[in-house]
């Protein structure tokens, strides 16, 4: 099987020659791996490590994406299409850089009238979708992921997290108004995106971060009231185009998983299995027939601070639990591998899955 066949068969819970694996890492880590392995192109890196890489063409329509091309109103430096601004933050003794929010575009606009008078929401016609088909065709043997919709994430970026969460309780009409505007953009953007791809997109994200390290960020009731209808609408759009729905949701989200499955997600990521309620064997038993799991390899302790044998032990554990029936699992780090991670641990991850995951 080639990588695309392997990824899609796992999502469809069909027979496999081996459990597939994916890669998420910061650009610094990718560059470190290329240097360590003596390769120049990322595709050569995936082949060298035996990675069934899901090719993500449009990581997010928050920053100005490479494809589709942004052709809308001019933006200032370090500003996204929502007029949220970012500043670089160096971490890990200079090994890495993250762009953190330094300006929330709606932080000072507390009424619907103020938003309508002072803010312009993005429009789908701010983008040129004409290159999407060509971009997809560049990777004929890989599963293509393109599209990203995240209502709560964008709302928090626009308002600031504290204001956003308070709005859901004390400023509900305002929250509904802004979230509706966000999701109207997501719908029109993705409708044009999928039409332009002409059936070449395999996976798209309808996602959000509803979890914390211990429980949910919002209650199930708040989810139902503010986000469930939008996720349902966006998931239906993805499925109407025959595309698989990838749902990324950090944290301890066990209480929401049945709702997400009811809405129609196909892939659940990142599976932070050390958190409450996220035991892999229980997830597989309760939800393994409904969804494919993606991720699992711990990126908070094992990868950055463990030894290669710890990584090998964890990979085997995940193969025995989330991959227990030989399908419905794509092994990957539970989030972007960070530059504090020893290269030996990353290599051990992929050597282990490629040695032991053959079926």
- Tens of pLDDT, residues 289-326: 999 999 999 999 999 999 999 999 999 999 999 999 99
Question: Is a pLDDT exceeding 60 seen at residue 221?
Answer: yes
Q: Is residue 98 part of a domain?
A: no
The 3-state DSSP class for residue 94 equals: coil
Residue 358 pLDDT: 81
CATH of the domain at 129: 3.20.20.210
CA 88/CA 308 separation, integer angstroms: 32
Question: Is a pLDDT exceeding 90 seen at residue 248?
Answer: yes
pLDDT, average across residues 76-94 = 92
Give the torsion sign (CA, 55, 227, 167, 218).
negative
Q: Average model confidence (pLDDT) for the chain?
A: 95
Q: Is residue 345 part of a domain?
A: yes
CA 292/CA 284 separation, integer angstroms: 9
Which helix (H) or strand (E) segment holds residue 141: the answer is none
In the block, residue with structure tokens 């960070």: 338
| Domain that residue 52 falls in | 3-72+121-356
Burial of 156 (0-12, 13-18, 19+ CB in 10 A): buried
CA 167/CA 146 separation, integer angstroms: 31
CA 186/CA 155 separation, integer angstroms: 12
Question: Is a pLDDT exceeding 60 seen at residue 94?
Answer: yes
Q: Band of the pLDDT at 77, cuts 50, 70, 90?
A: confident
Q: Is residue 251 part of a domain?
A: yes
Q: What angle do CA 90, 92, 94 make, to 5 degrees?
A: 50
pLDDT in tens, 3-36: 999 999 999 999 999 999 999 999 999 999 999 9
**Do strands 292-297 and 329-333 pair parallel, antiparallel, or not at all (unpaired)?**
parallel
Judge whether 202 and 136 are in contact, CB under 8 Å: no
Q: Band of the pLDDT at 359, cuts 50, 70, 90?
A: confident
Residue 128 pLDDT: 92
Judge whether 284 and 322 are in contact, CB under 8 Å: yes
Provide the 10 A C-beta neighbour count for residue 87. Answer: 11
CA 354/CA 359 separation, integer angstroms: 10
CA 223/CA 225 separation, integer angstroms: 6
Give how many domains the chain has, as a whole number: 1
Question: Is a pLDDT exceeding 60 seen at residue 62?
Answer: no
CA 51/CA 244 separation, integer angstroms: 20
Q: Model's pTM, two decimal places?
A: 0.96
pLDDT in tens, 112-167: 999 999 999 999 999 999 999 999 999 999 999 999 999 999 999 999 999 999 99
pLDDT in tens, 184-199: 999 999 999 999 999 9
Q: Which residues contact 197 (CB under 8 A, 6 or more apart)?
A: 132, 133, 136, 146
């Amino acid at each position: 099987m080639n990588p695309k066949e392997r990824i899609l068969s796992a999502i469809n819970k069909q027979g496999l020659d081996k459990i597939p694996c994916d890669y998420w890492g910061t650009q610094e880590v990718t560059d470190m791996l290329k240097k360590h392995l003596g390769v120049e192109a990322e595709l050569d890196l995936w082949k060298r490590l035996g990675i069934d890489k899901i090719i993500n063409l449009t990581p997010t329509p928050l920053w100005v994406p490479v494809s589709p091309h942004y052709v809308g109103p001019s933006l200032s430096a370090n500003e996204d299409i929502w007029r949220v601004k970012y500043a670089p933050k160096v971490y890990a003794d200079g090994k890495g850089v993250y762009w953190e929010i330094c300006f929330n575009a709606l932080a000072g606009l507390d009424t619907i009238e103020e938003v309508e008078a002072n803010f312009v929401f993005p429009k789908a016609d701010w983008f040129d979708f004409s290159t999407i088909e060509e971009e997809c065709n560049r990777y004929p043997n890989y599963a293509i992921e393109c599209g990203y919709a995240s209502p709560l994430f964008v709302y928090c970026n626009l308002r600031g997290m504290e204001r956003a969460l308070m709005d859901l309780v004390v400023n509900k009409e305002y929250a509904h108004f802004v979230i509706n505007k966000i999701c109207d953009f997501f719908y029109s953007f993705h409708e044009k995106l999928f039409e332009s791809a002409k059936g070449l997109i395999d996976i798209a994200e309808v996602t959000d971060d509803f979890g914390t390290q211990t429980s949910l960020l919002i209650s199930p009731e708040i989810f139902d009231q503010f986000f469930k209808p939008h996720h349902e609408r966006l998931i239906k759009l993805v499925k109407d185009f025959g595309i698989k729905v990838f749902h990324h949701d950090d944290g301890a989200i066990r209480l929401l998983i049945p709702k997400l499955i009811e809405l129609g997600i196909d892939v659940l990521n990142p599976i932070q299995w050390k958190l409450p309620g996220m035991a892999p064997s229980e997830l597989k038993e309760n939800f393994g027939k409904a969804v494919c799991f993606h991720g699992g390899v711990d990126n908070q302790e094992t990868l950055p601070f463990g030894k290669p044998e710890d990584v090998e032990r964890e990979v085997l554990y995940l193969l025995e639990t989330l991959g227990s029936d030989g399908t419905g699992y794509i092994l990957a780090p539970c989030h972007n591998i960070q530059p504090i991670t020893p290269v030996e641990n990353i290599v051990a991850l992929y050597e282990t899955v490629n040695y032991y995951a053959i079926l």
